[in-house]
Structure 1
Amino acid sequence: MTKVARWGWVITLVTLTGVAGVLAFVLTVGNTPERGFFERHYHWLYWVNVAVAAVLTLVILTAAVRLVVRVRRGRFGSRLLLKLAGIFALVGVVPGVMIYAVSYQFVNRSIETWFDVRLASALEAGLNLGRGTLDAMVADLGTKTRDAADQLADGSMPQLLALERVRDKLGARTVALVGGRGQILLESGGDTSQLTPDRPSETMLSRARGGAPASQLEGLEDEAAALQNGARIRALALLPNTELRLGLGERYLMVVQRVPASMLSNALAVQTANSEYQQRSLERVGLRRMYLGTLTLVLILAVFGALLLAVTLGNQLARPLLMLADGVRQVAQGDLSVRPVLASRDELGGLTRSFADMTGQLADARAQVSRTVAELDAARTHLQTILDNLTAGVLVFDPEGLIETVNPGATRILRLPLSAYVGRPLADVPGLRDFAASLTQRFEQHLGPDPAERDMDRELWQESFELQLDPKQDPLTLLVRGAPLPYGARLLVFDDISEVVSAQRSAAWSEVARRLAHEIKNPLTPIQLSAERMQHKLEAKLEGTDQAMLVRSVATIVNQVQAMKQLVNEFRDYARLPSAQLKPLDLNALVLEVLSLYAEAQEKGRLATQLAPGLPCIKGDASQLRQVIHNLVQNALDAVHERADGRVVVRSSLSVTEAGAPRSVRLHIVDNGPGFAEKVLKRAFEPYVTTKTKGTGLGLAVVKKIADEHGARIALRNLHPASDAGSPPDDGAEQPVIGAQVSLSFSNLAPVTEPGAASAKT
């Protein structure tokens, strides 16, 4: 039950209680009204009715206005409430008006019948008759008293006996002889309940003193006392003085006679009826208004009750529908929280419970779907994380052959913006048209229409491809694996095996060098000795041009043999590089030791050092690192040999962590020469790859091999003006080369307190 409905019921109960109390009070008092009751209390009774009617009317108007506002706002259920209110109001008003009309006529006619003219005349006649009878009895008793006083005045018998005789004759209750001041001189009979008899009033004494008898009716002032004690007639007559004696004074004869009880009760009944009739006659208008006002109040209360019942029942009927409508709206908005239900056991309550159960099931289903989606998102995120961190390239094609998924590894390997071509075929990517055609052909071969041509041995196929994406760079060697996916999709995974091929090539060259050193070195010494022996034996025997030709030929043989020996020694060093013996050493001291061999270049300003002080010791093989430094410095000096301003700088630095702890020691050899060719940068560490007109190309290969033995990283790069100045390069134009840099980074640092560290710094 809503708050408005509860207040409506409270107001109704209070009003009904008040009206019932007022009606009960009016009806109870109206049966035996106090004299002048309606005249005294009409106004406040009238205003009580008006106040109650005003309160009920205000409540009805307020409810009607609220209902109209709800209808205009289009609130769900307002029209149903309006219809129910109209029906119940019609049911309450029409019978109420009919009952009001009948009651109005009944009250008017009933009240008028109470005040009929004949009844009023009969009551007036009865009252006059009673008064006449009592007046006649009073006058008759006065006359008899005067006669008895005249007879008593002759004094023929004793006064007491005379009084007794008069009492018997008149049938009076009391006969007394009264003095001139009203004192009782002698009494016969009387009221035994009183010690002293009643004395006559001064008025009666005055009237009797004039000679006429005085009589009056007593005991009718209080009707209740008259009915209980009765009424009496008192007569007083002057007793004539016949003895002519002075000093006796005036004497009176007083007779008191009771009024018959039947006559007294009838007279009092007539008097009371007449008094009530006159009182009701005076209150007739107020009484009529009171009853009519009460009927009006009852009619308004009936209408109020009907409207309140309509609103209450309408709310009871519309509340489940409103709850369902609100729940449907919230469900449509995606809110599947717990819905309220009605506690009633009717169909509407069951409907709300069913809707709440359905909403709960939807909430559970959505939660399950959310969990499933979250799991799928987590799995997708996990898969995407794996794809993003894979070094291999991954491409997924949809059934139409369009790119669907690209991981960063594919972009990194191919060095092409593949993500920009998602939703397009691979052939649209510049430089990959032939590669895309080869892939399509390989997939068709793997899943071709002819079963005889299908590769049914494996679910995926694997093949290597060589791509020439940039003419200035070496071609890429890709190991490609393809597999079909459900619904016609295709998966492509590829790796850049260029370095693997280069490593295999280096291993092959190592094997070739080992065999060449073994097969060629042995005959070189006999050849040189034989040539020198021939020169020693024949030089003295020949003259002129023959001798010169012999000397020249032997010199040529010896020089070539020496060159062959140097080549064989380099092959031997590359193929049989001994394992590094790692010991703590000071890199700066080692650099200075090696650079002491290049004193002339340092004096000319072509070689300089920028060594960071206080570097921690590294773990390394001093003899091998000397060879590395020597090779790198010599290569740099050879690169700037033809430049007048050629300069080589050897730098050392320390890389630290965020906490300030040493992380690695770095060595940089920087020159301002022509730099490395683009095709050399990719394969600079392979044997026999060099830019020199003379040389075997094994120098950087040996350096790379020694760096790998020390766990160090080596990197080559060309220096450009924009990148060297710290500004981003211009992608629209090719940047000129202003030099080259070779970097070695040693992360295998020796502990500070390690024994032998000081001796290794020499």
Structure 2
Amino acid sequence: MGLVLVMLAIVSGLCTFAILTGLTPITPTPQVVITLLSINGAIVAAMALMIGWQVLYLLKARRHGVPGASLHTRIVASLSLFAAVPAVIVALFAAVTLDRGLDTWFSERTQSIVDSAITVAESYLSEQGDIARNDIEAIANGIAQQKSVFENDRNLFLRRLATISALRSLTAAYLINQSNKRIEASVTANRRVTFESPSDEMFRRAAKGELVVEGPINRNLIRAIVKLKNFDNHFLYVYRSVNPEVIQQLAKARAEKAEYDKLLGQRTGLQLTFALMYSGVMFVFLLAAIWLGMWFADRLVEPIVNLVGAARRVSTGQLDVKVDVRKGAGDLANLGSTFNRMTEQLQTQRDELVATNHQLDERRRFSEAVLSGVSAGVIGLDPHGVITLTNRSALRLLSIDRATLTGKTLPSALPQMEPLYRKACDSPSGNAQGQLDIRVGSQERNFVVRVTTERSNEDEHGYVVTFDDITELVSAQRNSAWADIARRIAHEIKNPLTPIQLSAERLRRKYSKEIKSDPKVFDQCTETIIRQVGDIGRMVDEFSSFARMPSAVLETNNLATVVREAMILQKASLPEVEFTSEFPEGRIEADFDRRLITQAVINLVKNALEAIEARQEAGDDNGAHIKVAVSHHDDKVQIDIADNGIGLPKENRGRLVEPYMTTREKGTGLGLAIVKRIMEEHDGRLELHDAPAEFEGGKGAMVRLLFPRKAKTNLADVSAAEEKPKVKA
């Protein structure tokens, strides 16, 4: 449809040009011009609508990001500009040329030439009229004296009139009686001269005494009429012939002058008509050129658009994309063939990479399966010390997620391991081993760490860091050693304590009355011996209790009730201390040893009191406050005991649970160690924290006991099961 319209537009434009330039037999009349303008206008409007629709489609496609739309728009704009600029330049040049040409046609010089031709002819006629005027006046004066001859001898009068007419070169002379409208006398130069009656206007003017001269109208004759004196209502009417060529030239000059004046008046309309016709033809060819440019752009951009669309599909992973290669498309065909070869190679390489990655994934999954089954933590490092691999045990032991470690260097992620890593890097063997204390959450954990390098012939090779948490093992070893020491101390010290105490009491009873000099000092000394022996005895009892920690007998009890009962005794004995508690509604059933949990709560309350006393001794007497809270979370129960005492140290906080490790002058260092042993018996753990912010503004410490609600093995049930067969027996 578009091609047909363009061909029709071109044919219409050529026909219009041919008609206007006179190359066809069709005369460019106003009706023809209007018809041509209408046809060209309709074609221009149809082509403008067609091109406008295509332009809107292009702009819409560009706005929606259709592949190639932007390039298509730029090419169409460039081709349209290349077509429009020359057309506009030619239009301006034609308009200027037409205006200059019209200026030449209608210049003052040309007008002067046209006017001069008419003036010359009119001057000749005016001269002949003056001659005729003089002749008729002279003849009229002569005839006025010949009235008697006219009346008595007409022949003589006619001869005299003929002689005078011949002398004056008159073509004809007539003596007319207006009363009876009759010619009284007539003289003609030849027989071809015919009489033409004067008009009534000429008679009227002549009757008034005016000599009337009338120039040539339809014939090459100048007519003149005058009333004769001494005659009754008689008029002399004469003809004088002039050169007929002058009359013809004058008529032609007047006609051309009229045509010239007409064209001069139509100059603006002529320019407007030319502009409309030229604009119509110009727009026809211009829009045809634009449409052809758009058609060419479509043909040019189509392979590029196909390449862009295929490239986008390739970017999404569709490597099986092919573009149609058109024969004879030149460089674009070569580009399409090259693109197809590239996609084939990419697909082949991707298939190979997928197969290789599949193998690597299988190996990685195998390695991860092996590493996930290892209880020790494993961290893989690249040659630059960046963490590339971590197993589940490493994340569990460090209580950290994989994203926090992967991609970071070992010194930045785990600065505690940096010395061993540097040592391994500097060592010829590439190995280093040692024990490190690392804070995990709020606890200090003890790890054995080993750094080894992979065996490789390359200059750059990575490292493997393996580590394991030996906190419990070290604690168990220390507890075992301290328990053995405690038994020895209790045995060696407790034996002499009784004789010492008995001897001191006997000395006080027997000699207190006999000593006369300074008996007060004697009583003080014996009292001090007895009191210190008692203190040592209690310390030995604690040693014995730690060394002979009994196994927990787990029974199902209400934990809230047990803790509440343990607090009653403390509240009664310490009225100056503010005790607050937080227990959930209902029962908290759990499997635990009632006696050991009570002992653990009492020990923690005593530690809290000692911390408060230490704060008060330091000069901060802000009151004593202890809070006990019991809660349960899923399958675990929790006891929190917080105080507003002096708080816990930041450094070596984890070692406070070791035997004989204390920060107080009077402490034995066995309170927290015993509580930790009790938690171990319940398969739980002891946690040391700072006081929460909502409690006394975060001042003080909080100890947390956390153990399962249901024991893995209920020792009481096992004992009962063992006793049943005996009963039957």
TM-score under structure 2 normalisation?
Answer: 0.44
TM-score under structure 1 normalisation?
Answer: 0.42
